[in-house]
């Protein structure tokens, strides 16, 4: 398989509930299907030489959903962080979680901390999961750190803000994919996506497969990235 020119792909995994509704299923079944898709696509990215995959799993706005659905999503996140550790070890993948930790239940926090600690030495790839994440919130939190660090006003620049992002050394994603026909970022990686290429996929996330991934990579390959030049 020809290695992908993309080394960091970020995905807004949209459409789990719509996928379920179209099939007469419950919403949680859509989220379960989306969970399985993430496992397959994660492996497919690694097989193509994509060393960084970042996914939007739960936004700061998702708290507005029903208590039942929020609970289901948190259960899935916790399960994935706990049950897939052996798989991450076998594939030599590191786990990172970005987003606000406050508001997450204790068991989810423990699962996050455990997954990050146990995979910290893995070097083949990194799966970054955005949980309780918002791009505007991340920038606000970085600004708060600048104030608390006592940075002089003439020392505030892009590097100072970058150094206070949730993951300061995150490589900028070359490609951001959103599924389910929506064409907006919804606050995903606002700081990091300044020059990312965007790709909109009509399929709901549970139907996203290796063929769709390759279509996105092919679309990226023919674009010209000028970076303002």
Give the span between the Cα atoms of 70 and 76, in whole angstroms: 10
The candidate with the shortest Cα–Cα distance to 37, out of 180, 183, 200, 181, is 180
Give the span between the Cα atoms of 219 and 159, in whole angstroms: 31
Does residue 14 have an active-site annotation?
yes
CATH homologous superfamily for the domain 8-221: Decaprenyl diphosphate synthase-like (3.40.1180.10)
Does residue 122 have an active-site annotation?
no
**Whole-model pTM?**
0.95
The SS3 assignment for 176 reads strand
Helix axes 210-221, 27-47, angle to 10 degrees: 50
Give the span between the Cα atoms of 73 and 197, in whole angstroms: 28
The active-site residue out of 43, 47, 52, 62 is 62
Average pLDDT, rounded, for the chain? 96
pLDDT tens by residue, 8-57: 999 999 999 999 999 999 999 999 999 999 999 999 999 999 999 999 99
Sequence spans of domains, the chain: 8-221
- Mean pLDDT for 104-121 is 98
Residue 127's pLDDT band (cuts 50, 70, 90): very high
229, pLDDT greater than 70? no
């Amino acid at each position: 398989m020809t290695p992908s020119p993309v080394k960091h792909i970020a995905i807004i995994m949209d459409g789990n509930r719509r996928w379920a509704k179209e099939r007469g299923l419950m919403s949680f079944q859509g989220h379960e299907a989306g969970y399985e898709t993430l496992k397959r696509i994660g492996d497919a990215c690694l097989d193509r030489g994509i060393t960084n995959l970042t996914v939007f799993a739960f936004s700061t706005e998702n708290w507005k959903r029903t208590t039942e659905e929020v609970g289901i999503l948190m259960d899935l996140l916790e399960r994935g962080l706990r049950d897939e550790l052996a798989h991450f070890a076998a594939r030599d993948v590191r786990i990172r979680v970005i987003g606000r930790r406050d508001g997450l239940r204790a068991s989810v926090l423990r699962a996050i901390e455990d997954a990050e600690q146990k995979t910290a030495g893995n070097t083949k790839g990194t799966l970054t999961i955005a949980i309780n994440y918002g791009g505007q919130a991340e920038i606000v939190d970085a600004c708060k750190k600048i104030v608390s660090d006592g940075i002089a006003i003439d020392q505030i620049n892009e590097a100072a803000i970058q150094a206070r992002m949730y993951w300061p050394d995150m490589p900028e994603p070359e490609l951001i994919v959103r599924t389910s026909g929506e064409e907006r970022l919804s606050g995903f990686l606002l700081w990091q996506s300044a020059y990312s290429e965007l790709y909109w996929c009509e399929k709901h996330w549970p139907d996203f497969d290796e063929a769709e991934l390759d279509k996105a990579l092919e679309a990226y390959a023919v674009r010209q990235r000028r970076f303002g030049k």
